[in-house]
Amino acid sequence: MGFKVDAYSDMGTKKNVNQDALLIKQAKAAGYGNICMGILCDGMGGLSCGEVASSAFVNRMDTWFKTELPQILLDKNITEPLEGTADASSTSQLLRIIAGQWKRVVTEMNDKLKAYGNENGIRLGTTVVAIIIVGEEYLTMNVGDSRAYRFNKKQLAQVSHDHSYVQQQMELGRMTAEEALVSDKKSMLLQCIGASERVTPDFFTGKIERNMNFLLCSDGLWRKLEDKEIMGIAPQRNGIKKLAEMVMNRGESDNVSGLIISI
């Protein structure tokens, strides 16, 4: 199984700094085949040095992929794949271990960014949305309101959970989706890495299907797009750039970033 990837990031029409950061990594592991990881972080524009927070987290995940993931793949405590190919049980076990490590990375970076902020008299923070695809399964993680979508030509589903005030109000039945998009509190987060006392990421897992695509994006990209536009344009050549230009033409002033992994 191979991957087709694309990514694009723009500071937008009104910002002077791009506080978003992205990363795509690929590798091949004996018994598991091709592995692909995508990370997108949106540094908090209302706080100081959001770009420091987002790039720091992306760099930490880059290190994890290079040094810690190989150790997991060599761990003999994971059920041995049969006949050189990972079965569902071993892949699921591997993803559970990865989820545990990612959660520890989130806690570690939350503490480090808070300490950095305290030392320098600033507040800084970042969202994160991440995916790793191993064999026939995937794992996503998110903190904040950067999103992950899973889609094909016929349907699209969000595989992340917004940690935002408006999402909370919608779940409580106090706000509609339409009201959330225009609320003056639409960018208010309930948690982010570096600016929260404690951070609890959400995780989603699922099976890979043929012709499946995954889009990771900042709120600057998803807020002004319809599902059908993502489904139709994102897989195209330079599709993420096309979507970014589309939302900027619609008046989006935030940083605009996205990455796609197509199976």
Q: Which CATH class is domain 4-262?
A: alpha beta
| pLDDT the model gives residue 48 | 66
Domain range annotation of the chain: 4-262
3-state helix, strand, coil in the chain (%, to 5): 35, 30, 35
pLDDT of residue 81: 44
Over its length of 263 residues, how does the chain's per-residue pLDDT go in tens digits? 789 999 999 998 888 899 999 999 999 998 889 999 999 999 986 666 899 999 999 999 999 999 999 999 987 566 444 444 455 678 999 999 999 999 999 999 999 999 999 998 988 999 999 999 999 999 999 999 999 999 999 999 999 999 999 999 999 999 999 899 889 898 899 999 999 999 999 999 999 998 999 999 999 999 999 999 999 999 999 999 999 999 999 999 899 999 999 99
251: left (phi over 0), alpha (psi -120 to 50) or beta: left
Distances (CA, A) of 41 to 60, 121, 130, 147, 185: 12, 22, 9, 10, 20
φ and ψ at residue 151, rounded to 5 degrees: -155, 160
